[in-house]
Amino acid sequence: MNIPLEDNFTDVIGKAQRGLEISDSDLAKKARLDASAIRKLRRGHYDELALFRVAPVLGLGARALADLAQNEYRPEVREIDGLTMFNTPYHDMTVNAFLVWDPESHEAIAFDTGADCRPILDRVKRDKLTVKLSLLTHAHPDHIADLSRLKTQTGAPVYISEREAAFGAETISEGHEFNVGNLNVKALLTWGHSRGGMTFFVTGLARPIAVVGDSIFAGSMGGGNVSYKEALKNNVEKILTLPDETIICPGHGPMTTVGEEKAHNPFFVGRI
């Protein structure tokens, strides 16, 4: 599944600016650049000198940002036995949902619904899986758009952070654990993009998995809509401290790993 990166370098700059509340004029002054240079960067014009001056002002890794601008970063992470990603269109974007299952017991967990959960249901039927529970990373509409159908068709209970709400979902707090077959799932509160954003850390397959919602994307992160500071802090302390081989399953864009994002994500290079 060839899914493009969710954000380009201008998106990263914009998210950092908004999070830090730095205007274009302030950014130009702090980076010792003309305002026109900032406007060109924001329009997608690659200027290495301007980018390398802007990056430290915004707390971004300059080399990683330059690689993103020159399309030199692309994580190549494949699905493993027991993990499948579903990518469905939602208005002018696409959104991911995931199915994780124990290959021995065929007991499964659905993570979010995407815009349309029919591909999840088709895979469940094809592989004779039993969905034991559904876990929601957060309550933004693109991630729970087909929740009613998923719950009705699977009969599985649905859980979401106690800091958010979704119709028909029970609430859990950070640290809550689930066991499904040989799988263990631990809930980590990674709020900042949303009030109750959850990351679900799954062990029991060939590699650990972190279903992160919009907390982190390959080469970027979700906007700090609630708190940019807390989003960065939670991502660094709760996701990027997981084992490097952990597969990151984001709400948008391709899958990646903890090791890849520590080395190549402009928001996090130098913070670990």
Under the banding of pLDDT at 50, 70 and 90, the label for residue 1 is low
Are residues 46 and 114 both part of a single domain?
Answer: no
The mean pLDDT value for 85-96 works out to 96
Are residues 51 and 159 both part of a single domain?
Answer: no
* CATH number, domain containing residue 106: 3.60.15.10
d(CA 210, CA 106): 20
Q: What pLDDT does 21 receive?
A: 97
d(CA 222, CA 264): 16
Domain edge (last residue) among 43, 69, 95: 69
Tokens of residue 17, six digits: 């600016």
Residue 75 has pLDDT above 70, yes or no: yes
Are residues 123 and 210 both part of a single domain?
Answer: yes
The mean pLDDT value for 123-152 works out to 98
Domain of 14?
9-69
Residue 272 has pLDDT above 80, yes or no: no
Residue 183 has pLDDT above 70, yes or no: yes
Tokens of residue 89, six digits: 């269109």
Are residues 136 and 57 both part of a single domain?
Answer: no
Per-residue pLDDT of 219-234, as tens digits, reads 999 999 999 999 999 9
Q: What pLDDT does 2 receive?
A: 85
Are residues 108 and 180 both part of a single domain?
Answer: yes
Does residue 90 lie in a domain region?
Answer: yes
Distances 254 to 6, 115, 130, 181, 257 between C-alpha atoms, Å: 8, 17, 26, 27, 10
The mean pLDDT value for 175-193 works out to 98
The residues near 57 (Cβ < 8 Å, ≥ 6 apart) are 22, 27, 30, 31
